[in-house]
Structure formats: structure tokens, C-alpha cells
Amino acid sequence: MKIAITGGAGFIGAALTQAYLDAGHDVLVIDNLLCGSEQTIDPRARFYRIDIRDQRLLTILQAERPDIVSHHATQRFHHLPGELSLQDADVHIRGLLNVLAGCVEAQVGKFIFASGGNDLYKHTLANPLPFTECSATAPQQPHDISTLAGECYVRYYTQNYGLAHSILRYADVYGETAQMQLSHLHHPLSYFIHMLAEQRRPIIRTASEALRDHIFIKDVVEANLRILTRGKNQTLHISTGKGYTLNNLFQMAAFLLDSKLEPIYLSSTQEENSTSILDNSKACEILDWQPEISMLEGLTHALKMLGVTKSVPAYQETPLNVTSNQESLLLRA
């Protein structure tokens, strides 16, 4: 099977490239390297350095005629509020439409769209945890608004052009590697590990007690391998269904690194409780898949993947599942 990966030089895209190649597929990577590094791209893949908004992308897709396009391109630069909205819309909507048009012209068999998960919903009494794929969406930031709009365009192309799709709403994916530039590391665990390894106190600026769903990259890769032949025209949560706070993550990282440092907490007037747990039962059923890496096991792998070689002690993890009591406490907070 021939697979094109947009954003293939990024964290998830690079991991998928290697996994698809290892599985015997023919892979081409499309990336402008603004949010990724060429060092992360498996040399077995054909690499096209091009922006997804470039009209030449259509020529590439027509020449290559991939069976599947896996769309993992995104932009994460910070601008002034107005600039941020325009940049997000330009990449996530105009860029996506350019890719979708190329897929139709090249008669691509299936389009896989990497979407958000934790940041598409808002926890309220009327929208309880855990969120399902049918829960009400309420994106708050330009990046998430344009991502949700992208989902709508993907479904539009299925309805009007017959382009089959799968939409994957990811939890927060961790397991970034030392090959990535420091500025391209986004998961808070990566930040905590880097700071503690350098004997520096990390700063926590967001709601430290908000529960978030986190999933290890290996489990994300496995779901993407299975989605190649399953989940036609479905929207699925790729998640663990478990919640951890930033404080939980920091404490686990500090324990494994045998660090006594404490974080520095900074409050923000714009701080919101971003609690989010994603029900993954639909993905488990349709993909015959389930996440296998626990948070502590994943964190141990993450240390090694980031080049931190400190020995880790034995530790018995107690997963923090959301209960009805916890949920009511969160709603009253």
C-alpha cells in the first residue's frame, strides 16, 4: 500500500512513517519543516519539502497516486491573537482544502485526518465525563476551532466526492524523542523531564489540577496501523480513558528522576479548567485495539527516548480514573 503522510517530519508523523515502512508499505512524506525536522524522517521514505498550501502539492499527489493520505500537518507557532486566528485558518483550512482537492484528483482511496481530542470539548453538567464522540464540542482556541472546521470539510468531501475518511481525535500524545528540536517538544512530560534532568524547576502556568487524557505514541501508532483497513467514515477517540493532572505528571517524572525539586506555579487571568477524559470504547470495538502502555511504563520509555539515562526505581502506578465523586467535585470547583 502506498501512503502519503502530510506533516511526516513532526512527532506523530515521523513515528507513523517508520511504522508504515516497517509494515512493508511504500511511504512518502510531505512537510515544510516549519514544525518538524528532516532528521526525524526515516531515510527509506521519499521526502517532498513543500507546504500543504502550495498548488504543486496536487502535482505530487497525481504523480504518486497514494492509496491513503494520512493528514498530520499542523502549525503551532504563537502570534498575536488576530494573527494566530488567520494563521491557523490558513494552514488548517486552506491547506487542508488543497490536500483534499489533490486527493480527489489523484483518486486517493482513503483520507485519515488527525484531529484534536481533549481540546474540542468543555466539561459541564450538560456535557459530562468521559466525553464520547457524540458529546457536544466547544473548542475555545483558534487552533481547535480550525481543527473542528477541518473535520466538517473532511465529511463534506466524503458526502460530495466519495472520498472515504477516518477522523482520529487524539488525547495528548507523549513519547517525543531526542531527535526533535527542543522548540518542537509540546507535551508537558517532555518539558518536565528536560527541566528536572538539568536540575531546574519547571514552571506550571495552566490549571495544575485539571484532569487530561494522555496516550503513549506506540499506542497511537498501533491505532493508525489498524485504521488503514478499518473505521471507514468514522470518528474515533484514540485515548486511554484515564485522567492525570499536571501535578500527577510532574510527581511521577520527579520520582523516576529521583528529584526533590518543586515546580513554580504561575497563575493566569485567562486560565481555564481544561478537564477532559475521552471514552475510547468505540475505537476499541471498531479497530480491535486498546492502549497497552500505562502512564508509568510510558514515562519510563519517554525518559529513554529523550536521552535521559538515569536509572528508574520500581514503582507501582495507581491510575487516576475519574469517578462520579471526582466529577462532582470538579464541577463545583
Q: CA-to-CA distance for 106 and 61, rounded, in angstroms? A: 6
Residue whose C-alpha cell reads 475521552 in the numeric block: 278
Instruction: For the chain, give the number of residues.
Output: 333
Residue whose C-alpha cell reads 491513503 in the numeric block: 68
E strand segments, 179-250: 203-204, 214-216, 234-238
Cβ(151)–Cβ(139) under 8 Å? no
Q: CA-to-CA distance for 281 and 170, rounded, in angstroms? A: 14
Q: For domain 2-173+214-238, give its CATH number from 3.30.43.10, 1.10.10.10, 3.40.50.1170, 3.40.50.720.
A: 3.40.50.720
Domain boundaries, the chain: 2-173+214-238, 174-212+241-276+292-332
pTM of the predicted structure, to 2 decimals: 0.91
Cβ(86)–Cβ(27) under 8 Å? no
Please give the chain's pLDDT, 333 residues, in tens: 999 999 999 999 999 999 999 999 999 999 999 988 899 999 999 999 999 999 999 999 999 999 999 999 987 654 445 566 888 899 999 999 999 999 999 999 999 999 999 999 999 999 999 999 999 999 999 999 999 999 999 999 999 999 999 999 999 999 998 776 666 678 999 999 999 999 999 999 877 889 999 999 999 999 999 999 999 999 999 999 999 999 999 999 999 999 999 999 987 655 566 899 999 999 999 999 999 999 999 999 999 999 887 644 444 444 444 444 444 433 333
Q: CA-to-CA distance for 145 and 120, rounded, in angstroms? A: 8
Q: CA-to-CA distance for 85 and 244, rounded, in angstroms? A: 29
The upper half-sphere exposure of residue 177, i.e. CA atoms within 13 Å in the direction of its Cβ, equals 16
The CATH fold of domain 174-212+241-276+292-332: UDP-galactose 4-epimerase; domain 1 (3.90.25)
